[in-house]
A and B are shown apart, each in its own frame.
Chain A
Amino acid sequence: MKAETAEFRGLVEQHQSMVFSIALRILGDRGAAEEVAQDVFVELHGSLGRLESEEHVRFWLRRVAAHRSTDYLRRRLSRPEFLAEEWTEQHDPHAGVRSIGDGALGMRLEQMLLSLPQGLRAAIVLRYQEDLTPDEIAKTLEQPLATVKSNLQRGLEMLRRKAGSMLKEYVRER
């Protein structure tokens, strides 16, 4: 039992950064990201018997982290008592992602990422944070490859447009 606990602790230590970062980049809020990441690992503990290899564990964690994060966003948005101000506060890029990245550019990219629709956000995070191929993203998110490719293209296009307008604002401010 103790050996199992130590082994599980090792898994959490090894993958905590990956799971937390996926949740944080999809949710944009450190508190919510930690809650979701904890849920993912508690779920992992119950599913360990079904996972066959280290690679399988990593794949499972990415998939569940992405799904639980988007589920969390959906739940928050569908809650009747949920107010727009709360959302703005929760997803204020200055409040949520202040510590992500290094410097102004990193923060602007995080801001832009959080303004993307949630479906596109998950694909972009898995593509550029986790360096997955579109095929791997399709398997992870359980979506058709064409949908993933289209989401990545649309996401990048939206980010390019946002980057363009941010750059103009930046030059104007200067």
Chain B
Amino acid sequence: MRDELEQDLKQRLSRVPAPEGFVDRVMERVAQKEQRRLRVMPQRISPLWQAAIAAMLLISVSFGAAELAHRQQERRQAEVVQHQFDVAMRVTGRTLDGVGERISRAGMKSEKREQ
């Protein structure tokens, strides 16, 4: 059961009207917020554009994948060429060593003969 103070509170604390033009001001703020949102977010994209964007993305990805495969193949070829060059250099080095040895041996023999 409510006492006198509670009854007074109930009676006096009734709702008060909002200020004049309140609804218009709220609607204006909502419209401004919507405009800001639309400026930030693109408009809904049509199905035709969606298909075009998807096709472009697919083409870009395909080109990217092909380019990547091409580069990997080139790198592998370069590695093979490098390996062949290393082997050739080793063989040439050994041959040159042999020739040098033979030359020095022939030189030593002719010196002995002259003496």
Contacts and interface: CB of A to CB of B under 8 A. Distances in A.
A159 interface: yes
Interface in A59-75: none
Q: Is the interface of B mostly helix, strand, loop or mixed?
A: helix
Contacts of B5: 156, 159-160, 163
A150 interface: no
Interface string B5-23: 1101110111111110011
Interface string A138-167: 000000000000000000100110010000
A121 to B, nearest CB: 11
Given A99-B16, A128-B6, 8 more contacts: A5-B27, A9-B23, A20-B16, A24-B16, A38-B26, A100-B16, A124-B13, A163-B5
B30 interface: yes
Contacts of B27: 5, 8-9, 12
Interface of A: 5, 8-9, 12-13, 16-21, 24-25, 30, 34, 37-38, 41-42, 45-46, 99-102, 105-106, 109-110, 113, 124-125, 127-129, 131, 156, 159-160, 163
Bin the interface of chain B by size.
20 to 34
B65 to A, nearest CB: 41
A83 B95 CA distance: 96
B83 interface: no
A25 B13 CA distance: 9
Interface in B8-61: 8-10, 12-19, 22-23, 25-27, 29-30, 33
Nearest to A103: B12
